[in-house]
Structure 1
Amino acid sequence: MSNLVEIHGLEVEATTDSGRRVAIIKGVDFAIAPGEIVALIGESGSGKTTIALTLLGYTRPGCRITGGSVAIDGHDMVALPEAERARLRGREISYVPQSAAAAFNPSQRIMDQVIEITAIHGTMPRAAAEAKAVELFAALSLPSPETIGARYPHQVSGGQLQRLSAAMALIADPKLVIFDEPTTALDVTTQIEVLRAFKSVMKRGRMAGVYVSHDLAVVAQIADRIVVLKGGQVQEIGSTEQILTAPAHPYTAELLAAFKPPARVPAAPAPAGEAKPVPVLELDAVSAGYGKVGADGQPLILAVRSVGFTLERGRNLGVIGESGCGKSTLARTIAGMIAPASGTIRFDGKLLAPLAKDRSREALRKLQIVFQSADTALNPARSIEDILGRPLTFYHGLGGKARDARIERLLDLVHLPKTLKHRLPAELSGGQKQRINLARALAADPELVLCDEITSALDTVVAAAIIELLKELQRELGLSYLFISHDLNTVQAICDEVAVMYHGEKVEQLPAGDVGSRAGHPYSRLLMSSVPKLDPRWLDSLERDPELVAAFAKR
């Protein structure tokens, strides 16, 4: 059987702001058979998405294909005129983006957008397209397949919108589908359903696929073969089973080792008879939300409901749960960005003012927050030196040589070279930006750092390095962390205890290693059972308790 896709000697270069040309894809070769799903894996900057986009005959602004061929069913996407490439897009080859929310027009109904490609290419009448869309909605396990197309994008959940973006890609029966990190932003329980739906529809339609991801466990469930990339070059190609069980290249072994970081070694308990220190953080029946406050004193949308816990100094607490469970709202409430509707927050035994603007400079200094997206948290117009220097001046009054020396010390703490201080955030990698994000919090000399999904956008190797850095900083600086995440492996790697949230409430709090145990809360068991394993048979053999799934379906 001849291959559907054949890539030979692919080379892509990018032009820097200074006009210098840099090779980013360097002589890549691989093929895809009809009906086969091939995964492209590797750390950020390895070239995964760049290669996938060349299958559409497309490169990002500032990039261009400089060599090689990309043939799909005999059509060379590099050599074809743009009009011919446009004719193939959507019909022969289609694309499922990472962010479905960004792919949909908020002002148009879902059905109109899903079937639009059939009108563009004139493949079928509208009535037939709508009927086919409903069939796809059912095949992708979407609720109310006959009527969901009448809704607008904001009226469905993130997981549903991701499946709808797949329906948009599949409506014209393409021979090849590109999946670009389509489950990265989804929580684990939603991810399972989306992966199952993708896999079922692809097999039923005998479609080939390219699955771009940095999550090996997700790749293990859907790919037949894996292409391992680093620095724009292929390191290894093999069957999914071979790559996961007997990797031939040291870099592949490194990716596998980073999949599950080693668990944190708990802090030693205080000697018997010694006075128990004052907790660094105490929450008592804290509720918070958004919107206009009603006569009952509660906001219109209550996202956190009567949450309480105690965090001892030098220890770490993880907060996990599905998207929308209130994790980030809780972090923002503690940070003083949102005033609690009720309840109290104590820091070092002292009552904290509800809002940051009313807290003392010393209280602000001791409690810092690191946000999920360094891209939006760092001012793109300021140099790294300015970004790190501002809190040094604000909290410590440092200037001149003392400020410069402290900036270099902060960069050293997060394992970045001193020369980076003159760069802008856009000139750094994702992992470097997140380290700067962390260094800015450390500039205040805090006692507690709130980490809000700080590894969720990072690839496996970089995320593991950030976790090890957090552990090292804790040993060196005596920090405590409140770690918000939907990545259960990451939380167990750094936290002593884990609080599980569901629908705004804390349903249980246990030692990290006990979360999901038979004696624990049913929702915790459902969460832990949904974490993918490095086993290609895991998804097909997964049998979750249907009563648990039904009981904790999103309200």
Structure 2
Amino acid sequence: MTDPLVTVEKLRIGATTDSGRKVEIIKGVDFEIAPGEIVALIGESGSGKTTIALSLMGHTRTGCKIEGGTIRIGDCDMTAMSNRARAALRGTEVSYVPQSAAAAFNPSKRIMDQVIEIAAIHELMPRAEAEKKAVELFRALALPDADTIGQRYPHQVSGGQLQRLSAAMALIGDPKLVIFDEPTTALDVTTQIEVLRAFKSVMRAGGIAGVYVSHDLAVVAQIADRIIVLKGGEIQEVGGAEQILNAPRDAYTKQLLAAFEPVPHQPEEQPAQSAKPKPVLEVFDLCAGYGAIRNGEPAAKILKDVSFKIERGRNLGVIGESGSGKSTLARAVAGILPAYRGGVIVDGTEMKPDLKDRSKAELRRMQMVFQLADTALNPAHSIGAILARPLTFYEGLRGKAREARVTELLDMVHLPASLRHRLPGELSGGQKQRVNLARALAAKPELILCDEITSALDTVVAAAILELLKELQSELGLSYMFISHDLSTVEAICDDVLVMYKGEVVEALPAATMSSEATHPYSRLLISSVPKLDTGWLAGLEQDPELVAQFANR
């Protein structure tokens, strides 16, 4: 029997809070990884996935410390080594592929210089040999223009290409173990397919072991041999990918699997044509873009004659890849980005293109919840102060009446009243997104624009947010416009769907029949690219290469 490459025994990692309180993050974890095996660490935010993965390099985040146990990689005890000795192993024995490739590259240096840097640091090979090896890796990772892509700067390649280049950077030193920390989370579905294929091919060809950190079970199904399920710093279940996905034993694993497939939205019966109320939102011939306006048009035109309606009480999903114009559409409808042509009608009233020209009553009717809760909430203000501001602006509330309404809003999004005294940095991602939603509800809107509001959340938390949206809709008679590149999310919350490509609507159809009745080639490509909870899905996926070349933003 082959000796394990990685052995983790009784690993304990602790942290010290700002107030000096000791917290145990990882609570006696044991596992092994065989040479060439890819093991996935899954679980919701705060389960300890990334903390464990980083510890395999002997690294902990600021304020954290390995307090017990051992981590062995081959013959090396990472927990007993000096920092200098650990540094010598990083990039050669064990390497790391981050979630955000953009943050891993220096924008002022050419890609090739950064990819081969590890070879220079560890004096592994001459520069010419390192460059030749880098080009071989670029080719193996299915990167275009493998011979010349290294001469570009990071901003001159796409997100999917940059993510594969970060893998090349991790592989250049021939490591025995590569840690992938949610490397496809920010990618579109078609791009994700190409990146997963490339990762899997290179790892298998080189017999390299891997740790794949993710909360996306469908992605894990395509790349992992074995899965470790984590919750609260403890292992709940370990098993082969097939067993975990098809016959889980632990209740928490079953909960994760159930959350992966949200309950499909049940559209309400449409009223008879003669009895239809006026739409809550009507958009016609909307054109918007960025840059200086010349001759009535911006330098960069993004939206091109977009038209649609949202009936009161119904939800519209807008899907498409990065750059398709989804978020620009939401910003133009909200007036954050004034449209240069076309119009927006809310509840029968045509809105001024620019947000600052709309009345308080018009602003109240339509609110927006942004993708990144971290940047949408002022880190210096308490949750109570954040929610109080729109109450004063829209309702004129002050004193005890405002305090009572803050408590009511927190209750509506299922948060305890005690949270009002905390700062955003003291809340989890799911809690922050609920606060964002509560702030929108403070205006008593009729329509809420949701811009990728679950994309940064793990599966369980995202499913809970969707259930909350459905509950609020039922209680308050809301309508939602839901921007997303996650098709299962759209199917779970929306009645109708717009498919966007390069600023245009290429198809509009009911959400319930989207998967079976979409006819536009781009719609079909998007739908076929959504990973399934099936370990053989990626290997068996067949897509028209001409279609992929035409539409995929790789």
Give the TM-score normalised by the residue count of structure 1.
0.99
* Secondary structure of 1:517's aligned partner: helix
Partner residue in 1 for 2:281: 281
- Is 1:203–2:204 an aligned residue pair? yes
| 1:462 Cα offset (Å) | 0.3
Partner residue in 2 for 1:260: 261
Q: d(CA) in 2 for partners of 1:304 and 1:92?
A: 48
Partner residue in 1 for 2:192: 191
Q: d(CA) in 2 for partners of 1:387 and 1:283?
A: 31
Partner residue in 2 for 1:545: 544
Partner residue in 2 for 1:304: 303
Contact map agreement 2:99 2:183 (CA 8 A) in 1: yes
| 1:99 Cα offset (Å) | 0.3
Letter in 2 for 1:147: T
Partner residue in 2 for 1:61: 62
* Secondary structure of 1:458's aligned partner: coil
Letter in 1 for 2:298: P
Q: d(CA) in 2 for partners of 1:142 and 1:504?
A: 26
Partner residue in 1 for 2:335: 336
| 1:547 Cα offset (Å) | 2.7
Q: d(CA) in 1 for partners of 2:273 and 2:434?
A: 38
Once the two structures are superposed, the pairs formed by residues 516-535 of structure 1 within 5 Å of their partners are 516-517=515-516, 520-535=519-534
Partner residue in 1 for 2:87: 86
| 1:338 Cα offset (Å) | 0.5
Contact map agreement 1:516 1:526 (CA 8 A) in 2: no
Partner residue in 1 for 2:23: 22
| 1:265 Cα offset (Å) | 1.5
Q: d(CA) in 2 for partners of 1:518 and 1:426?
A: 44
Q: d(CA) in 2 for partners of 1:518 and 1:388?
A: 43
Give deviations 1:324-348, integer Å, cap 9, x for gaps.
1110011011111101121111111
Q: d(CA) in 1 for partners of 2:233 and 2:13?
A: 9
Q: d(CA) in 2 for partners of 1:232 and 1:272?
A: 55
Once the two structures are superposed, the pairs formed by residues 148-163 of structure 1 within 5 Å of their partners are 148-163=149-164
Contact map agreement 1:492 1:512 (CA 8 A) in 2: yes
Partner residue in 2 for 1:136: 137
Contact map agreement 1:290 1:301 (CA 8 A) in 2: yes
* Secondary structure of 1:515's aligned partner: helix
Partner residue in 1 for 2:415: 416
Once the two structures are superposed, the pairs formed by residues 378-457 of structure 1 within 5 Å of their partners are 378-457=377-456
Partner residue in 2 for 1:104: 105
Contact map agreement 1:517 1:525 (CA 8 A) in 2: no
Once the two structures are superposed, the pairs formed by residues 359-370 of structure 1 within 5 Å of their partners are 359-370=358-369
Give deviations 1:178-202, integer Å, cap 9, x for gaps.
0000000001000000000000000
Q: d(CA) in 1 for partners of 2:45 and 2:511?
A: 29
Letter in 2 for 1:45: G
Q: d(CA) in 2 for partners of 1:89 and 1:273?
A: 69
Letter in 2 for 1:311: I
Give deviations 1:365-414, integer Å, cap 9, x for gaps.
11000000000000000000001110011100111111111111111111
| 1:519 Cα offset (Å) | 5.3
* Secondary structure of 2:516's aligned partner: coil
Partner residue in 2 for 1:351: 350
| 1:518 Cα offset (Å) | 5.2
Q: d(CA) in 1 for partners of 2:518 and 2:403?
A: 53
Contact map agreement 1:331 1:452 (CA 8 A) in 2: yes
Q: d(CA) in 1 for partners of 2:517 and 2:198?
A: 28
Contact map agreement 2:190 2:553 (CA 8 A) in 1: no
Structure 2, unmatched stretches of 5+, are none
Q: d(CA) in 2 for partners of 1:427 and 1:319?
A: 32
Letter in 2 for 1:485: S
Contact map agreement 2:191 2:553 (CA 8 A) in 1: no
Partner residue in 1 for 2:39: 38
| 1:551 Cα offset (Å) | 2.5
Q: d(CA) in 2 for partners of 1:124 and 1:224?
A: 32
Q: d(CA) in 2 for partners of 1:303 and 1:114?
A: 34
Contact map agreement 1:516 1:527 (CA 8 A) in 2: no
Q: d(CA) in 2 for partners of 1:264 and 1:541?
A: 29
Partner residue in 2 for 1:290: 290
* Secondary structure of 2:374's aligned partner: helix
* Secondary structure of 1:136's aligned partner: helix
Q: d(CA) in 2 for partners of 1:205 and 1:408?
A: 57
Partner residue in 2 for 1:6: 7
Structure 1, unmatched stretches of 5+, are none
Q: d(CA) in 1 for partners of 2:136 and 2:476?
A: 57
Q: Structure 2 vs 1, CA of residues 519 and 388 (structure 1 numbering), >3 Å: closer, same or farther?
A: closer
Deviates more, 1:282-291 or 1:236-245: 282-291
Once the two structures are superposed, the pairs formed by residues 105-124 of structure 1 within 5 Å of their partners are 105-124=106-125
Partner residue in 2 for 1:326: 325
Partner residue in 2 for 1:499: 498
Contact map agreement 1:498 1:509 (CA 8 A) in 2: yes
| 1:302 Cα offset (Å) | 1.4
* Secondary structure of 1:547's aligned partner: helix
Partner residue in 2 for 1:489: 488
| 1:305 Cα offset (Å) | 1.2
Q: d(CA) in 1 for partners of 2:366 and 2:149?
A: 44
Contact map agreement 2:518 2:524 (CA 8 A) in 1: no
Give the TM-score normalised by the residue count of structure 2.
0.99
| 1:517 Cα offset (Å) | 3.0
Contact map agreement 1:335 1:368 (CA 8 A) in 2: yes
Partner residue in 1 for 2:457: 458
Deviates more, 1:543-552 or 1:280-289: 543-552
| 1:264 Cα offset (Å) | 1.3
* Secondary structure of 2:203's aligned partner: helix
Q: d(CA) in 2 for partners of 1:179 and 1:210?
A: 6
Q: d(CA) in 2 for partners of 1:272 and 1:303?
A: 34
Contact map agreement 1:133 1:167 (CA 8 A) in 2: yes
Give deviations 1:75-122, integer Å, cap 9, x for gaps.
111110000000000010000000000000000000000000000000
Letter in 2 for 1:57: G
Q: d(CA) in 2 for partners of 1:553 and 1:19?
A: 50
Q: d(CA) in 2 for partners of 1:5 and 1:299?
A: 56
Q: d(CA) in 1 for partners of 2:422 and 2:162?
A: 37
Contact map agreement 1:515 1:525 (CA 8 A) in 2: no
| 1:39 Cα offset (Å) | 0.1
| 1:271 Cα offset (Å) | 4.6
| 1:554 Cα offset (Å) | 3.7
Q: d(CA) in 2 for partners of 1:468 and 1:362?
A: 29
| 1:520 Cα offset (Å) | 1.6
* Secondary structure of 2:44's aligned partner: coil
Q: Structure 2 vs 1, CA of residues 273 and 310 (structure 1 numbering), >3 Å: closer, same or farther?
A: closer
Q: d(CA) in 1 for partners of 2:505 and 2:477?
A: 27
Q: d(CA) in 2 for partners of 1:17 and 1:550?
A: 51
Contact map agreement 1:518 1:525 (CA 8 A) in 2: no
Contact map agreement 2:290 2:299 (CA 8 A) in 1: yes
| 1:267 Cα offset (Å) | 2.0
Contact map agreement 1:38 1:209 (CA 8 A) in 2: yes
Q: d(CA) in 2 for partners of 1:513 and 1:193?
A: 28
* Secondary structure of 1:53's aligned partner: helix
